[in-house]
Amino acid sequence: MTKQDLISALRESVPGRSPLVGFAAADDPLFRENKRVVSPAHALPEDLLPGARTVVAFFIPLPRAVVRSNVPGKAASREWALAYIETNALIRDAALRLKRVLEAEGHAAAVTPATHNFDPETLVSDWSHRHAAFIAGLGRFGLNNMLITDSGCCGRLGSLVTSLELPPDPRPGREACLFRHDGSCQRCAARCVGDALSAERFDRKRCYAVCLHNEERHRELGKADVCGKCLAGVPCSFVDPVRAASRET
């Protein structure tokens, strides 16, 4: 089984969404670093699947109309909240599809939920899809704490662990966030509606308070504890702006 087999299976499970896929070695030392940079309780690939050899990470872009709907106003748009709920199911189904494809070829695989696998006190998850995707070379972190991929940061991430050994992808050797690249942007911080994000700090609890407010506002949809104002209407919403700028020059 090749990388392309898995990429094709993922594309078939999310038709029309042009997902991005990255691969990391399960013994990449950065996974152990997650215990320091994310949480001491952060799992290793081996914890999720004994004998793990590869972590497969994927990014599913949100439809542009959904992102644009979340630009105006202080509250998360209904479309944004609904997309969050729907993509949780989409990510779960996509990961389970990859798991079945791997298992059909005799390889073990383990998946974790798209979200809500975090500690209710610290709000830190024990398996970060964002950090798995970073290690798998899908992008670099922006000031808004999101992974900026070649298709921007407005999308959802999933990952799974498998016993199949595949060659890891290289990580980008440069920043994707304009603030981290040359200090020329803080648009996400300016758009923050919860006084939670600035160049100096990110206040996770303030941010989550805004998300809970939106959950209440859209409670008929399910658990949509989201905001996303710092993702929508910014230079990195749909592209890697550093790469885009380098193409223009």
Q: How does DSSP assign 195-243, residue by residue?
A: S-B-SS-B-HHHHHHHHHHHHHHTGGGS------TTTTTSTTSSS-HHH
Binding status of residue 62 toward ligand SF4 by CB under 6 A: no
Q: Residues 184 to 203: which contact ligand SF4 by CB under 6 A?
A: 185-188, 191-194, 196-197
Q: Which residue is nearest to ligand SF4 (CB)?
A: 142
Q: Which is nearer to ligand SF4, 139 or 168 (CB)?
A: 139
The nearest distance, CB 187 to ligand SF4, in angstroms, is: 4
Q: Which of 139, 116, 124, 161 is nearest to 59 (CA)?
A: 139
| Only segment of 34-42, 61-69, 117-125, 223-231 that touches ligand SF4 (CB under 6 A) | 223-231
Measured CA to CA in angstroms, residue 81 lies from 18, 28, 37, 197, 227 at distances of 21, 34, 29, 21, 8
Among 179, 232, 238, 239, binds ligand SF4 (CB under 6 A): 179
Q: Which is nearer to ligand SF4, 137 or 142 (CB)?
A: 142
Binding status of residue 224 toward ligand SF4 by CB under 6 A: no
Site residue total, ligand SF4 (CB under 6 A): 26
Phi and psi torsions of 235, nearest 5° = -60, -25
Alpha helices in 28-152 (DSSP H): 29-37, 45-48, 64-69, 78-104, 129-135
Beta bridge partners of 160: 56, 111
Binding status of residue 227 toward ligand SF4 by CB under 6 A: yes
The nearest distance, CB 227 to ligand SF4, in angstroms, is: 3
| Only segment of 47-55, 95-103, 215-223, 224-232 that touches ligand SF4 (CB under 6 A) | 224-232
Binding status of residue 178 toward ligand SF4 by CB under 6 A: yes
Q: Which of 126, 61, 87, 96 is nearest to 222 (CA)?
A: 87
- HSE-CB at 243 with a 13 A cutoff on CA atoms is 15
Quick note: the x/- pattern for ligand SF4 over 125-164, rule CB under 6 A, is -----------------xxx--------------------
* Secondary structure E strands in 95-171: 109-111, 140-141, 147-148, 155-162
Residue 102, Cβ density class (10 Å: 0-12 exposed, 13-18 middle, ≥19 buried):
buried
Q: Which is nearer to ligand SF4, 53 or 156 (CB)?
A: 156
Binding status of residue 45 toward ligand SF4 by CB under 6 A: no
Binding status of residue 236 toward ligand SF4 by CB under 6 A: yes
What is the chain's length?
249
Instruction: Please give the residue ranges that form the binding site for ligand SF4 (CB under 6 A).
Output: 142-144, 177-179, 185-188, 191-194, 196-197, 207, 210, 227-230, 234-236, 241
